[in-house]
Chains A and B, each alone.
Chain A
Amino acid sequence: MMKQGLHPLGMIGLVIAATLVGRVLPTWTLSLATIAASNALIALGIVVLARTGNVSFGQGLFFAAGGYGVALIANASGITDAVAQVIIGAVCGGVLGLVIGPLISRYSGIFFGMLTLALSMVLYGALVKSSALGGSDGFNVGRPSLFGMIFTDPREADFMLYAVSVITTGFAGIAAAILFRSELGLVSLAVRENNLRVEYLGISANRIVTINFVIAAIFAGASGAFALMAQRHIDPQFAYWTTSGEFVFVAVLAGYQSVAAVFVASLALELVRSFSNLYLPNTWQLVLGVFLLGVILFLPRGIGSLWTRDRRKKKNSTATPASAERGVVL
């Protein structure tokens, strides 16, 4: 699995290049790319978790935890630094993931998915009813800064947010790529296929799911911080099931085999949504649905299968014919 992917140094080069490209991009694409990067980060977490065979339909829970955590701390203490806010969001998501992960990892399949959805809707209900947190209207936060610099020019502010989101998501992608190729990544795939056999080999499948769940929660919390900084407003919609559904949409488009596919899928979704919204304002959801149907029909294992399948084919073509023959006899 992913044995011959891009070297981490090459990935760092790509992240730097993508950041610098932002300097020449039109302003409207900066905010689109920021949202795409933020969505990619949370979808990447869903993919990390999906590699254990479990899909969270309630990542909005951690997305909202990160967003609300950052917003409350920013308003209470005046912390506006974008990097600090991303870290706070990641910590809020991660801590909640640590509390829920060990409990929820005992379940799998549809029960796992429904439990995550239920928990996110419990938070949504609590937020709507909480007047201290602004109820259903939510509340506003101040403009983010970076290392003491305050950006009053809208283009510079957009670029700053773009740069921080691309770099953060890029490094999360590199970490995920290393994770996918690691011992834990391999055992995660084994849990996905046969968790009982994993137990018979002396490995705790629940522990593997919990670790991946916490990683996904950290990514979701950081993503919530980005969404907050981009909108400078937070409301219970962050935890709503349709918000979670969008992230699952990106993860399904991407498949679970490639990190790069998550970024491609997230960008593709934002582009399809923007252009269909522009040219077909009343039917853009229809376009989006047809787009997803096309991917499911022609790439059932996601966009990532386009290149991971080729890699697998190349590798197998080197197997000796004698082995193949014996394999058939036995």
Chain B
Amino acid sequence: MKSVLSVRGLDKRFGAVVAADALSIDIAAGQKVSLIGANGAGKTTFVNMVTGYLKPDSGSIALDGMDIGRRSPRNVARLGISRSFQIPQLFIELTAAENLAVAVSGMRTQTLSFHSPAEAQGRHDKAIELLERFGLADLADRPISELAGGVRKLVDIAMALVRRPKLLLLDEPTSGVSAEEKFATMDRVIHAVAPDAATIVFVEHDMEIVSRYADRVVAFYQGRILADGDPRQVLNDLEVRRYVTGGAR
């Protein structure tokens, strides 16, 4: 199957700390890949390098065969990689619809309009359509500062989805969500992402979420890939149980 993302020999060090050690990975179109690992294993560093926030010390990152390893987050987003954040990165004084409208403005190729109203019909409709997908349309006019953590997570993911990315990276989509709500939240995410058929890579600590939603699991340990493959096989791997899940399964 064709690879959307192809990473080869990625290295990243912060002083003595090895955050990525010769990482190589291919992610095929349409896959739902979960990245697991203890804190400091290198998952978020990997996401930050793929999205252009961190530059690798060496190695290459290719999106659909195009090298993106030295590009800025803005360029990477324009080429088709979007991300959400462990702590939702929203504009908290703006409403949910306005947050989405800003994301819709990001799709423009010309200079932003000086006079076209911010709530112009096309932009507003697109924002509402995305909020509807996540079941949040009736919260469109609420400022983010008044919304609960779980809703903020969903708005954050909705913003990442605006560009209809080829690759969607979700950093702990259910962290901060109550145990009762985590499956409902993840169901909503998977349901909302489905129409765009994006390839999804999600960082996750909750092994129940991983085993239910991922069709491939990559386990990180000290900047290296410890195991990569079918969720059942990876989660039962002795080294993964020892260094990552701590015998969680």
Contacts and interface: CB of A to CB of B under 8 A. Distances in A.
A315 B98 CA distance: 14
B92 A183 contact: no
A281 B41 CA distance: 68
B154 interface: yes
Contacts of A197: 89-91, 159
B91 A196 contact: no
Contacts of B78: 202
Interface stretch (A91-99, A184-192, A283-291): A184-192
A130 interface: no
A79 interface: no
B112 A184 contact: yes
A199 B98 CA distance: 16
Given A1-B118, A193-B93, A327 B142 contact: yes
Contact of B148 (A198, A204, A320, A329): A329
B121 to A, nearest CB: 12
B117 interface: yes
Interface residues of B, number: 51
A184 to B, nearest CB: 4
A208 B112 contact: yes
A329 B123 CA distance: 29
B115 A178 contact: yes
A11 interface: no
B201 interface: no
Contacts of B94: 1, 186, 189-190, 193
A322 interface: yes
A199 B142 CA distance: 24
Contact of A323 (B89, B142, B150): B142
Given A181-B118, A183-B120, A183-B123, A189 B112 contact: no
Given A187-B105, A330-B185, A1 B139 contact: no
Given A181-B117, A200-B51, A201-B77, A319 B185 contact: no
Contacts of A318: 141
A330 B51 contact: no
A292 interface: no
B114 A1 contact: no
Interface in A14-54: none
Contacts, number: 130
A183 B94 CA distance: 13
A203 interface: yes
B101 interface: yes
A147 B159 CA distance: 53
Interface string B23-34: 000000000000
Contacts of A182: 112-118
Contacts of B117: 181-183
A316 B142 contact: yes
A203 B69 CA distance: 19
A184 B101 CA distance: 11
Interface string B102-136: 11011100011111111110010000000000000
B137 to A, nearest CB: 9
A100 interface: no
Nearest to A207: B111
A146 interface: no
B146 interface: yes
A330 B148 contact: yes
A328 interface: yes
A199 B83 CA distance: 12
B92 to A, nearest CB: 7
Smallest CB-CB A-B distances: 3 pairs: A330-B150, A201-B106, A186-B118
6 contacts: A3-B119, A182-B115, A183-B105, A199-B77, A202-B163, A319-B142
Interface of A: 1, 3, 178-179, 181-187, 189-190, 193-194, 196-204, 208, 211, 312, 315-316, 318-320, 322-324, 326-330
Given A200-B77, A330-B150, 11 more contacts: A1-B94, A1-B98, A178-B115, A186-B101, A186-B105, A190-B102, A193-B91, A198-B102, A200-B74, A316-B143, A327-B147
